[in-house]
């Protein structure tokens, strides 16, 4: 689980979604906290809990939440990619027009 839990961060960085560093950092922190909780195997009183039913329920909840965090990170990456692609594919005429409009309005 450890290596996989941080792979989304590399995907986000490689995607060019650099406009979301706070969100990426937050998701990394949430993921790390989930992993710690997932591996703690303690009951609510702080005692070691070896009960299989408790462990299964706890592991399932942590796995579902971790999956949601990773999905959110991928969605951020997609939005970032879309924004980068939109800027990169803007035609020279559009860029010139935007520049000229800005100069006229100033």
What pLDDT score was predicted for residue 73? 75
Distances (CA, A) of 95 to 17, 42, 70, 104: 22, 59, 35, 14
pLDDT in tens, 5-35: 456 556 555 555 555 566 667 677 777 777 7
**Closest by Cα among 66, 2, 60, 54 to 30:** 66
> Which domain does 20 fall in, by range?
2-105
Give the least confident one: 2-6, 41-45, 90-94.
2-6
Domain tally for the chain?
1
Give per-residue pLDDT as tens, 30-60.
777 777 766 666 666 666 666 666 667 677 7
- Does the pTM surpass 0.75? The reply is no
């Amino acid at each position: 689980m450890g290596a996989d839990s941080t792979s989304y961060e590399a995907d986000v960085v490689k995607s060019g979604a650099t406009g979301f560093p706070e969100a990426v950092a937050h998701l990394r922190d949430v993921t790390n906290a989930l992993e710690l909780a997932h591996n703690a195997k303690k009951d609510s009183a702080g005692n070691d809990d070896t009960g299989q039913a408790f462990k299964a329920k706890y592991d399932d909840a942590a796995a579902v939440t971790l999956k949601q965090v990773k999905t959110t990170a991928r969605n951020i990456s997609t939005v970032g990619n879309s924004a980068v692609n939109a800027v990169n594919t803007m035609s020279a005429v559009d860029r010139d027009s935007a520049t000229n409009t800005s100069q006229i309005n100033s």
